[in-house]
Amino acid sequence: EAMASGKPSVISFATPGFCQTRYCSPVVNSVSEAKEQFGDAANFIHVEVYKEFNPLVLADEMAEWGLLTEPWTFVLDGNGRIAARLGGPVSPQELADVLAKVGVN
């Protein structure tokens, strides 16, 4: 659905409750701040890392994206191409900079 919208997307793979790196909560907060700043100009999607919140079973989406660790944040352009792949902590300003490169102001 997000891809069909033609809008850029921010996809965050993070699990604040079970995070192994302690970066998940700050990443989720940064993405939330970016969503508040840019509103409907982009899609903002959070993907839970673990299946049914079981920290022993990775969600299928993790394998589909080739991810073994967390957190990861991807910014896709309006055509669904990956414009940025950000591992670990990411600031609202970093997200704003990447979103500007894909036409979100």
pLDDT above 90 (res 21): no
pLDDT at 51: 93
Residue 19: give the domain boundaries.
3-101
CATH code, domain carrying 76: 3.40.30.10
Q: Mapping DSSP to helix (H, G, I), strand (E, B) and coil, where does residue 75 land?
A: strand
Span of 16-20, 32-36, 39-43, 60-64 with lowest mean pLDDT: 16-20
Q: Which residues pair with 84 in a beta bridge?
A: 75
Confidence of residue 53 (pLDDT cuts 50, 70, 90): confident
State how many domains the chain has. Answer: 1
* C-alpha–C-alpha distance, residues 93 and 33, integer Å: 10
How high is the pLDDT of residue 22?
85
* Rounded CA separation 44/11 (Å): 6
Q: Can you give the pTM of this predicted structure?
A: 0.92
Give the strand order in the sheet containing 72-76.
43-47, 9-13, 72-76, 82-87
**36 pLDDT exceeds 80?**
yes
Q: How far apart are CA 91 and CA 86, in angstroms?
A: 10
